[in-house]
Structure 1
Amino acid sequence: MIEVHRTIRTPPERIFAVLADGWSYASWVVGAAHIRAVDAGWPAVGTRVHHRLGPWPLQINDRTVVGEMEPNRLLELEAHAGPLGIARVRLTLENISDTTTRIRMGWMAVSGAARYIPEAVLSLMLRPRNSETLHRVDDLAVHRELNPPHVRH
């Protein structure tokens, strides 16, 4: 499993709020381009985010499915990426203090073409990408307003 981690100066509840918002998925997952739909109940086990991957006009319609979830502690995803296959992505939150959380992101190919790429090569490609993913989670968790006021038009 390829793993990266980041220490974020916010409690795990704020980080999990980002992960639990299926509509924000394309904001923090590097490579996700557009959210097409989010199943009701996300991130309950078995629910899906339907998304597009890649740059336009070469986008692939695909999905990510929740495999395991413990609020404010764990979110395991089965990320589908067309012909590249399926990856298991495990995001764990470790409370370090009242104001600090360590998030770990583990990535492992479980099917498709990515399983045939040597782990050392995958690691060179994915560590920077996954580190950027956690950087985006950090920005959203620390800076976004969790319950924005209702705007009237």
Structure 2
Amino acid sequence: MMTEPEEARSSLVVQRDTSASRQQVWDVIADGWVYSQWVVGNSRMRAVDPKWPQPGSTIHHSIGVWPLVINDSTVVDSCDPGREVVLIANGRPFGKARITMKLQDLPGGGCRIEMAEVPVSAPMKWLPHSASLALVYPRNREATWRLAALAERRTDAEA
């Protein structure tokens, strides 16, 4: 069992219930090539480690809108396949953030997606956790909505 990151206990954790199964949601998370479709702010994928989302694997993406695009990357810190993934996202110029994604089955079907994010490097780390969580809450709310929508449209053939 993985140790629960501090941000996962915050009252500002975004929760989204979806009719998609936990496996359908996990399949979207595990497909690094669709990361930019559900993570708000990412504009395109440049490369995906074939071992994604195993710990230590990396995806390379771009942030922003052309011509103001920053090439960045996200690394898997830890992973419990189908249940939880902890990512370290480079978000220049704002610094690195740790994102914890948890998936739980819902009674009667479907899945609950939980997403929390905290800065782990300057300059955003200088803010109190409550302030930094409040800043990313709207973005993460949209990201979980997009993730759920992608998962709900996935068929077994695509998985």
- Given the two structures, how large is their TM-score scaled by the length of structure 2? 0.87
**What's 2:100 paired with?**
90
**What's 1:141 paired with?**
151
**What's 1:77 paired with?**
87
Query: Match for 1:58 among 68, 79, 87?
Result: 68
Matched, 1:111 2:121: yes
CA distance in structure 1 between the aligned counterparts of 2:100 and 2:129, rounded to whole angstroms: 17
Alignment check: 8 A CA contact 1:83 1:112 kept: no
Equivalent position amino acid for 1:73 in 2? R
Q: Which stretches in structure 1 are left out of the alignment for 5+ residues?
A: 149-153
Give the deviation of 1:11 after TM superposition.
1.4
CA distance in structure 2 between the aligned counterparts of 1:145 and 1:12, rounded to whole angstroms: 13
Matched, 1:30 2:46: no
CA distance in structure 2 between the aligned counterparts of 1:94 and 1:18, rounded to whole angstroms: 15
Alignment check: 8 A CA contact 2:118 2:129 kept: no
Aligned residues: 148
Superposed CA offset, 1:100-128 (max 9, x none): 21111010100021112344443443111
- Given the two structures, how large is their TM-score scaled by the length of structure 1? 0.90
In terms of mean alpha carbon deviation, does 136-145 or 26-35 score higher? Answer: 136-145
Equivalent position amino acid for 1:136 in 2? R
CA distance in structure 1 between the aligned counterparts of 2:64 and 2:78, rounded to whole angstroms: 26
CA distance in structure 1 between the aligned counterparts of 2:67 and 2:128, rounded to whole angstroms: 29
> Quick one: structure 1 residues 98 and 69, their matched pair in 2 at CA, closer, same or farther if it must change by over 3 Å?
farther
The percent of aligned pairs where both chains have the same amino acid is 36
